A and B are shown apart, each in its own frame.
Chain A
Amino acid sequence: MKTILWLIAAYAAFVSQAALVPRLPWGDFAPDLLLVVACCAVFANAGWRGIAWAAAIGLLGDCLAAGPLGIRMGALTLIAAVVAMWRDTGPRRSPIGLLAASYPSLIAVLTIETAVGAWFVEKGIDLRAIVEFAAARAAGSFCVLIAVVACGAIVHRASRLSPWEPRGHSPRW
């Protein structure tokens, strides 16, 4: 069931990234919805499952980009592995810490992806411009990620409340 939900989330993010995000006036801060879903997948799935989801969603992101395949997949795998080892091997990490760590992770993924893509097409690499671009896109993605996490927390909290039960009544006779 959980796997199907993640598949639906990845599909929705892919479709929205292709058809919806370019229509909205985000400017340089256009979010990358696939990265947002990848972050959520790494948060929600500990260990190798998170890494596998990150890699699969990264491959979807590669299909959406114009460059060669495998770049985002590799970058996301690398970052997800680091996050998984940091989370699983040390003391228990707080969700806030994980969320805070996602912003530099987003910048790292976007920087690696853009730099390797630029190297592949032989355009020359202006690292400062690439980092600025990655930071802007990561900021947009981070805002969407916070919104998604907040919505998820509200839904999770609501689902843990005791269900309403109708007050019983005793028969008159």
Chain B
Amino acid sequence: MASSPKSNLIAASVCSTVAIAFAFAPGSLRDAVRGSVRDAALPGERVVAEWADRAAPLAVHGRDRLIAFVAPRATAESLSSNNSTESILMIESQRRIRALEAEVARLRDELDRRQGDEAAAFPARPGEPLVVPDLLAATVLGEEAATLWRAGKLLDRGTAAGVSESSLVLDAEGPLVDQGQDSGLEAGQPVFAGRTVLGRIARVGHWTSTLQLVTDPQYRGLARIVRRSERGVAYGPQGILEGDGGELCRLKFVDATAAVAIGDEVYTDDLEGLLPEPAYYGRIVAAELKPGAAHWEVRVEPAGPPREPREVHVLRRVANPARFAP
């Protein structure tokens, strides 16, 4: 068929009609088409992923050489995005410093309490707690695996066998982790990446759950500012951290009488002492006190992991087995 305006028009009309038909096609047909195409591409994706994994160390090495050539005095921020040994060590040392700061603040708070009226008259023997923390490692499903899971491609035995995943999880859009009700997960349990708060469990299915990140507008969590004063690192005011749907979080209800500064660190304050030290939320990047306002307007940059996490930890509360031992 020769190329002419008429043939162009016919081709465009046919293709547009097919596109509209696909857009309004039933979900089963769409899933079948999408599943077939992705199945056909799977071998190639595996090969490319394997090559990419093999080439990753070379690429990182090359990038480090390039950064060293272009910017010999790279800042700590730029280094933290690298995957090289130096940057990994720097990230680890930053985590360690944050953990030590939180520990210092906790000890100072405890010292203040012991020096006050809360100090016991006689030495007390610590009792076994009834509830103890239990961190469950969970793997974050990649985009491909999550798509296949939500499309029902990984679990195809159907609802009749009673093995279908909850539609609450399948219809949600957040990241998926590979643990669900069968592992004792419940909505609201906090999720960590190392010592950093990543978010919490939003919806729990039979085998998978969705994550609600700290930047999600629905996220709320008690937080406490840890600031550096003349006395060293100390606990600051309490507030409620909530996501703003973008890249930052808001720290609300911080009293106008409290001292807040840009650069102060924000930690959790709601874990009822379950963890030995508070978990890290992020750093204050903006703080404004409007005239006559009762509270500060504080913006927090969540730390999060430097790359998308593959493994996260979910904090569960379990009964202390030591209390039930015969």
A contacts, CB < 8 Å to B: 11-12, 14-16, 18-20, 22-23, 25, 46-49, 51-52, 54-55, 58-60, 62-63, 66, 68-71, 73-74, 77-78, 80-81, 84-85, 88-89
Contact = CB atoms under 8 A, between A and B. Distances in A.
B23 A19 contact: no
Given A48-B8, A52-B11, A69-B30, A23 B52 contact: yes
B156 interface: no
Interface in B24-55: 24-25, 30, 33-34, 37-38, 41, 44-49, 52
A100 to B, nearest CB: 21
In the A-B complex, the 8 residue pairs with the smallest Cβ-Cβ separation, listed nearest first, are A47-B3, A70-B22, A74-B19, A48-B11, A81-B12, A55-B15, A15-B44, A70-B23
A152 to B, nearest CB: 21
B147 interface: yes
A77 B52 contact: no
In terms of DSSP, what is the predominant structure of the interface of chain A? helix
A23 B143 CA distance: 11
A105 to B, nearest CB: 15
B1 interface: yes
B120 interface: no
Given A20-B52, A63-B37, A70-B20, A52 B15 contact: yes
Interface of B: 1-5, 7-12, 15-16, 18-25, 30, 33-34, 37-38, 41, 44-49, 52, 56, 81, 143-144, 147, 173
A14 B41 contact: yes
B8 A77 contact: no
B21 A88 contact: no
Contacts of B15: 51-52, 54-55, 73-74, 77
A159 B157 CA distance: 55
B18 to A, nearest CB: 7
20 contacts: A15-B41, A15-B44, A19-B48, A19-B52, A19-B144, A20-B52, A22-B143, A23-B52, A46-B3, A47-B2, A47-B7, A47-B11, A51-B15, A55-B18, A58-B19, A66-B147, A70-B25, A74-B15, A74-B20, A78-B16
Contacts of B5: 85, 88-89
Interface centre among A12, A18, A60, A68 (most CB of B within 10 A): A18
Nearest to A47: B3
Interface centre among B12, B18, B144 (most CB of A within 10 A): B12
